[in-house]
Amino acid sequence: MLKKERYKHFLDYFTQNFPEPETELHYSSPYELLVAVILSAQCTDKRVNMVTPKLFERFPDPESLAASNTEEVFTYIRSISYPNNKAKHLVGMARMLVEQFHSEVPSTVEDLQKMPGVGRKTANVIASVIFSMPAMAVDTHVFRVSRRLGLVPMTAKTPLAVERELVTHIPKHLIHKAHHWLILHGRYVCTARNPQCFQCPLSPFCRYFEKNVKIDVFHS
């Protein structure tokens, strides 16, 4: 099957069945989402959502977080992965947000990446979710699912290579949605271990299914 056909099937399925996907992180402002995404690095959204209510109660805005310190922030996020580094990043991010961006979360990937703890993936998430910009954040789920489906070649071995491939073939107005489609599909169906291929609606046009699962069934 041609790559163009795979993209068409992928986009058709999700636009029809999940037209308005959303992040599973809980937030009520761009600032809160930025904090949550920084915390979510190598950590589950579920765990982050358990921690952020008390964190946001104590630090409801960039100013309050900027006025705090690493030690205090650590006490609120100690159950998150890498709490020491993330506490430093959060305080540094908040101070830069207040001092350089007038407490407003910037809309460009370039400006977002200037802040501590904000790499390209985090910046793309904010640009995509908050500002609906055509930015594709590539996490482990997006990386795995897009390669398995055949949306990107197996030679795309870095997140940046996968990102460039996806944004080239997905219409701009759907990129911010496709980001969620790939993440949620990877989280609940196309899991890293034991993907649910026989329950997956994308199997008919999935390269992984064609090359691995069908063969295994045939030989079993």
Residue 190 in marked binding region: yes
For residue 46, pLDDT beyond 50: yes
**Confidence bin at 214 (pLDDT 50/70/90):** low
Domain final residue pick, 129, 162, 178? 129
Are residues 103 and 45 located together in one domain of the fold?
yes
Are residues 114 and 49 located together in one domain of the fold?
yes
Inside any domain, residue 169 = yes
Are residues 40 and 113 located together in one domain of the fold?
yes
Residue 43 in marked binding region: no
Domain final residue pick, 129, 161, 184? 129
For residue 207, pLDDT beyond 50: yes
Query: What is residue 106's predicted lDDT score, i.e. its pLDDT?
Result: 96
Query: What is residue 26's predicted lDDT score, i.e. its pLDDT?
Result: 97
Are 28 and 55 contacting, i.e. CB atoms less than 8 angstroms apart?
no
Are residues 42 and 105 located together in one domain of the fold?
yes
Mean pLDDT for the stretch of residues 131-150? 94
The SS3 call for residue 67 is coil
- Burial code (b: 16+ CB inside 10 Å, e: under 16) for 158-170 equals ebeebbebbbebb
What CATH number corresponds to the domain at position 151?
A: 1.10.1670.10
Catalytic residue among 12, 61, 88, 121: 121
Number of folded domains in the chain?
Answer: 2
What residues make up the domain containing 94?
30-129
Q: Decide if 88 is catalytic.
A: no
For residue 219, pLDDT beyond 90: no
Residues of the chain with pLDDT > 90, as a percent, come to 93
Q: Decide if 12 is catalytic.
A: no
For residue 80, pLDDT beyond 90: yes
Catalytic residue among 4, 88, 111, 139: 139
**Confidence bin at 215 (pLDDT 50/70/90):** low
Element containing residue 82 per DSSP (H, E): none
pTM over 0.85: yes
Are residues 160 and 74 located together in one domain of the fold?
no
Query: What is residue 89's predicted lDDT score, i.e. its pLDDT?
Result: 98
**Confidence bin at 174 (pLDDT 50/70/90):** very high
Tokens 């949620």 locate to 184
Are residues 50 and 11 located together in one domain of the fold?
no
**Distance (Å, whole) CA 103 – CA 75:** 24
Contacts of 85 by beta carbon, 8 Å cutoff, 6+ apart: 117
Mean pLDDT for the stretch of residues 98-107? 96
Alpha-carbon dihedral angle through residues 127, 128, 134, 139, given to the nearest 10 degrees: 100
Are residues 8 and 43 located together in one domain of the fold?
no
